[in-house]
Amino acid sequence: MRQSVRAYPGDVFPTAIDKDEHSDFYQQKRDAFLRETTNTPCLRRIPELNKLIDSVVASWYLEPSSISSREWHRIPCQRPLGLAVFNPQTRELESDLQIVTGRNISVRGISFTHATHIYSREVAVTFDLDKPEKDFLIVRLAWSRFSEEKTFQSGGQFLYQISINAD
């Protein structure tokens, strides 16, 4: 639940952060992003995440910060994604690629909407729909629900990245 704040005339607000003046801050944030994406380097190509990394995000919640375990903010990522069921033992896709719609993405995970229930805990997600060789992010699903729009919504944490030829 978000808390709203009323501003009154005469209230003083901080000025915008000047990128040149705070270049160390942005470089530290970029370095953290590169460290966090060591196992998932294809995330570095996603414009939404680069936009998140190069900006300052603030949020105010009613919950204490000790309750929230999220280290990175989420950002909307409403684009088509490819999804397939993944077998961790064989490290192969076990289903045809289906198109789902992204909802949110962070450095650590993703959420998306889909038409049918997913009967697997691990799935492979790709942003490379038009390439013959696809980079897949292996996602361990943490939650799934049926929405009011009569679609499923699911989300989970990125584990690692694999490449598979679509032939």
Mean pLDDT split into 10-residue runs, the chain, 167 residues? 59 55 77 87 87 64 49 81 93 92 92 92 92 91 90 94 77
Q: What is the pLDDT of residue 164?
A: 82
How many CB atoms neighbour CB 31 within 10 A?
A: 10
Q: CB of 161 within 8 A of CB of 136?
A: yes
Q: What is the pLDDT of residue 75?
A: 85
Helix (H) or strand (E) holding 78: none
Q: How far is CA 67 from CA 63, 102, 146, in A?
A: 7, 26, 25
**Phi, then psi, of 34 in degrees rounded to 5:** -65, -40
User: Pseudo-torsion of CA 127, 99, 142, 75, nearest 10°?
Assistant: 50
DSSP SS3 for 41: helix
Strand 75-76, strand 98-105: pairing: antiparallel
Q: Specify the pTM.
A: 0.74
Question: 100 exposed, middle or buried (CB, 10 Å; 0-12, 13-18, 19+)?
Answer: buried
* Domain 22-167: assigned CATH number: 2.40.10.220
Q: What is the pLDDT of residue 81?
A: 95
Q: What is the pLDDT of residue 67?
A: 44
Strand 92-93, strand 80-87: pairing: antiparallel
How many CB atoms neighbour CB 136 within 10 A?
A: 23
**Residue 93 to residue 85: CA distance in whole angstroms:** 6
